[in-house]
Structures are given as structure tokens and as C-alpha cells.
């Protein structure tokens, strides 16, 4: 998902927790993430973007070092350096949410008896349980 899609999701659907799935084509729940964590990351990202836009685009100390990593000994662009620059650019556009994901959500199927679900709420003290159909 893009940052804009996550922002839209959080504001359109005010749940306290969201399931994390593998993909839309294969919607298998692999974890859960809390709304407050997503909002904190989005707020931090927006603040970070506004700070970087306010700064000048060329920082000579960083530019010299990063350019030296892009060039080989003869001064020509190296493929490894270009690959590193490409990965760094992609990493700046990606939110790392893996630390926020709880990889052990409580999941039941739609065939689970209601008594068992009520016992899970009482004994485990959970606030939400995901119900899936066909796994």
C-alpha cells in the first residue's frame, strides 16, 4: 500500500486495530497493527517531509560523499553505486512498519462456536478477534 492509501484507510475507517494481509489477491492474515501506531508513523513522516522540503536540496558534505560512492576509480558511474543510490531513494519512500506489526493475532473461523469465542474474550482478555472465512 502507498502512504496515501494508508492515510486514507486510517481516516476513513476509524478502527483501533487493522489486519495485515499478504496481498489483495491472497488475503491471508499474517498480523495486526494498531491505529495509534499508524497515526504516529504517518505524522512523523509528514513532519519529516516538511522539514526536508524546507532545507536546500544540495548539502555539500553529503553530496560529495554520496557522489564518490556512485563513481568508480576512473570517475565513471559505477553500476554498484547507481544500485545503492536507487535503493536509498526507494528506502526513503518506504515506511518500515515491520516493527509495529503484531505477528500473532487471534483468529477464528466463521465456524467457531460462539461459546468458544466468548471464552476467548473472557480468559485471554483480548479486545478483538479476527473472524475469517476459508482460512
Pick from 121, 91, 88, 89: nearest CA to 106: 121
**Record: fold of 3-104:** CBS-domain (3.10.580)
Q: What pLDDT score was predicted for residue 52?
A: 62
pLDDT tens figures, 74-127: 555 555 555 655 555 555 566 778 888 999 999 999 999 999 999 999 999 988
Residue 6: CB atoms within 10 Å: 19
Q: What pLDDT score was predicted for residue 16?
A: 92
CA distances from 93 to 1, 84, 126, 134 (A): 12, 14, 34, 35
Contact criterion met (CB below 8 Å) for 128 and 16: yes
* pLDDT at residue 69 is higher than 80: no
Q: Tell me the C-alpha distance between 81 and 66, whole Å.
A: 9
Q: What pLDDT score was predicted for residue 63?
A: 37
CATH 3.10.580 domain position(s) in the chain: 3-104
Contact criterion met (CB below 8 Å) for 32 and 108: no
Q: What is the mean pLDDT of residues 5-16?
A: 90
Amino acid at each position: 500500500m502507498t502512504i496515501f492509501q494508508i492515510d486514507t484507510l486510517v481516516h476513513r475507517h476509524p478502527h483501533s486495530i487493522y489486519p495485515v494481509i499478504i496481498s489483495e489477491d491472497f488475503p491471508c492474515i499474517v498480523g495486526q497493527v494498531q491505529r495509534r501506531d499508524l497515526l504516529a508513523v504517518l505524522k512523523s513522516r509528514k513532519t519529516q517531509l516538511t522539514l526536508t522540503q524546507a532545507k536546500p536540496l544540495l548539502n555539500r558534505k553529503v553530496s560529495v560523499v554520496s557522489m564518490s560512492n556512485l563513481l568508480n576509480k576512473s570517475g565513471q558511474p559505477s553500476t554498484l553505486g547507481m544500485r545503492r543510490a536507487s535503493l536509498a531513494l526507494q528506502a526513503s519512500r518506504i515506511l518500515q512498519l515491520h516493527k509495529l506489526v503484531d505477528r500473532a493475532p487471534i483468529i477464528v473461523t466463521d465456524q467457531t462456536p460462539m461459546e468458544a469465542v466468548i471464552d476467548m474474550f473472557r480468559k485471554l482478555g483480548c479486545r478483538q478477534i479476527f473472524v475469517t472465512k476459508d482460512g
